[in-house]
Structures are given as C-alpha cells and as structure tokens.
Structure 1
Amino acid sequence: MSDPASLKTVTIYTDGACSGNPGPGGWGATLIYGTPPDEVTRDLKGAEPETTNNRMELTAAAEALEALREPCHVRLHSDSAYLINAFKDRWMDGWIKRGWKKSDKSPVLNRDLWERLIAQEQRHAIEWVKVKGHAGVPLNEHVDGLAVGAMRTMMAEAGL
C-alpha cells in the first residue's frame, strides 16, 4: 500500500440496525470525499431478512470500503465497539493464529465479513474511529436513519 499521505482521504460513517437479534436488519454508510464546496457525498444502504445487529455493523463497513474505486486513506467512524475494537486491538490476529477460533476455542462469528474487512484493511490505510451512538453526532444519526430505513423498506416489501 502507498504512503497514507499520498492517498485520497475519505471519511466514512457506518451503522447497522436489527429488529430482533436475530431478525430483519439494515445497514447504512455515508462516504465523504473532498471539502466544501466541492465535497462529494455518497450514501449506501441495504437490508437482509434474517440477520444480527453485529452482521449489519460489519456489512456496512465492508460495503463502504469495497465501494472505493482505489486505495484511500480512510477515517471510518462507527458506533460499534465490536467492529472498532477488533481492529484497534487486533483481535483477528489471534483468531487467525488459532484457525478462526476465539480464545475460548469457540468459532469466530461472522468470519465471512471479517475476511472481507481484513482484505479492505490491506487495500486501504484505515483509521478506525469509535463514535458514541445516539448521541447527536449528525452523520452517525444519518447512517442510523439509512440502516433503519432500508430495514423498514425491506420489511414492508416482504410483508413482515
């Protein structure tokens, strides 16, 4: 990967939502590049009929990072301690050494999503930023709305 200082800087906010856990869920992400008045913002969202909140949190981050067309310096903001702490504290290094097992020898949940995120971490220079959920952070509230909206739309279309 290139020196982060030579890469485009992109700010990403992500969130996941679930009605029941497991249950129907949605995810949302906002990608921001540039500075006003030339700032470019792109929203992404999706939903699944049977999932968990953690899967939606991880999916939001994976989808956002995969949407970037070239390696970037990314500041990824999430209210998910599960996501942020896994990368800041390098939980996956131990999981991989143990054959995708946690320290208690149980299988790591959501391995498919962790593998997608690890691949993106190798592609991009990522700063993992924890934000407090439902605390009035405008972009965090925005992506929460995207996630909940995607989930509700999917539920309505499926008659759930």
Structure 2
Amino acid sequence: MKKILHFDNAILACVHIDIYTDGSSLGNPGPGGFAAVVKYKDENGEQKKIVKGGETATTNNRMEMAAIIAGLHWVSTNLKAGTCTVHSDSRLIIQSMREGWKRKKNLDLWAKMDTVVGRFSKIEWQWIKGHNGHPENEEADGIAVQQAMLHKRKLFSNEN
C-alpha cells in the first residue's frame, strides 16, 4: 500500500524506507568509519543511497551512532518521509531506542540522534546480527571499514 505524502505542492510516493547501518574503528579509540545503506522506492522503482564518513580518532560505538544519524538525516532532508526502519547490529543503540536504556557515554551524539529522530512520525528499530550474510548489512560494514582505512591514511598524512 502506497502512502501519498504532500509537501510544498509536491507529491512524494513512499512505500517504505530501510536504513542499514554499521560503524567501524581501527582501535578503540582509533580511526573510524561509518556507512548507511538507504533503500527506498520512488516513481522510478527501487533506489539505494550510500551515506558514509569517518573520523581520525573515534570509537566503534560513536561510528555506529554516526551511521544512524547520517542515514536518518539524509532521509529527512531528501525524501521527506515520515516512517522508516533502522537496521543495526548495535544492541546498545537498538535497545536504547526501543527501551530507553540509560545513556552514559557519547551524550553529544545521543542529543543529535534525538533531534534527527524527532523529524519522523515513526521509526522502527531492528537489530540484525552482524557479519551474518545479510547483503545490506555486509555492504554497510564493508564501506564503514573502507572509511576507517581512509581516515587512518589521513591521520598519518598531511591531508586535512
């Protein structure tokens, strides 16, 4: 069943949006990378967008959070959709979002997460087992590792 959403005199047909995320760090802390694989359908059929990035000094948990924040931000900025499912292999994040687990670390990223989550009418939080052959999760993992390696090279070069 398609939902027809009206925004600024434009119509965007949106069935469902899935965001598959992963984060990686080479050391803890160390250079890290993240990736979000966003899958959705529009008038041209199934689409996929990769959102990625990283830092030269970070942790795996921060990169897991950054992947979700970046994926949700891209969706809220470009698709103007109301609902989506976030798939992550981070039990910490999924349980925190589902059950309100107490947040003790990375409070800056939790604040960003809360802000971007507030842009949606509904988000489903789905834990998936990492490194278990799920195509989109494996893709996100591979890109996150590539980003971590890229930021490792930046750490030891003169690049900004």
Cα distance, 1:49–1:119 mapped onto 2, change above 3 Å? same
Mapping of residues 6-155 of structure 1, within 5 Å: 8=14, 9-34=16-41, 38-68=45-75, 69=77, 70-91=80-101, 95=102, 108-124=104-120, 125-155=122-152
The Cα of 1:122 is off from its aligned counterpart by 1.8
Contact kept in structure 2, 1:78 and 1:131, CA below 8 Å: yes
Superposed CA RMSD in Å reads: 2.0
- From the superposition, tell whether residues 6 and 114 of structure 1 become closer, same or farther in structure 2 (CA, over 3 Å): farther
Alignment TM-score, normalising by the size of structure 1: 0.81
Give the drift of 1:47. 1.1
Between the aligned partners of 1:137 and 1:81, the Cα distance in structure 2 is 16
Relative to total residues, which structure has the larger strand share, 1 or 2? 2
Q: Identify unmatched segments of 5+ residues in structure 2.
A: 6-13
Q: State TM-score, norm by structure 2.
A: 0.81
Alpha-carbon distance, 1:34 to partner: 0.8
Report runs of 4+ in structure 1 exceeding 6 Å deviation: none
CA distance in 2, matches of 1:42, 1:16: 17
1:155, 1:122 → 2: CA distance?
33
- The structure-2 alpha-carbon separation of the partners of 1:136 and 1:25, relative to structure 1 and needing over 3 Å to count, comes to same
Partner secondary structure for residue 110 of structure 2: helix
126-135 or 33-42: bigger deviation: 33-42
Question: Does residue 1:156 correspond to 2:153, yes or no?
Answer: yes
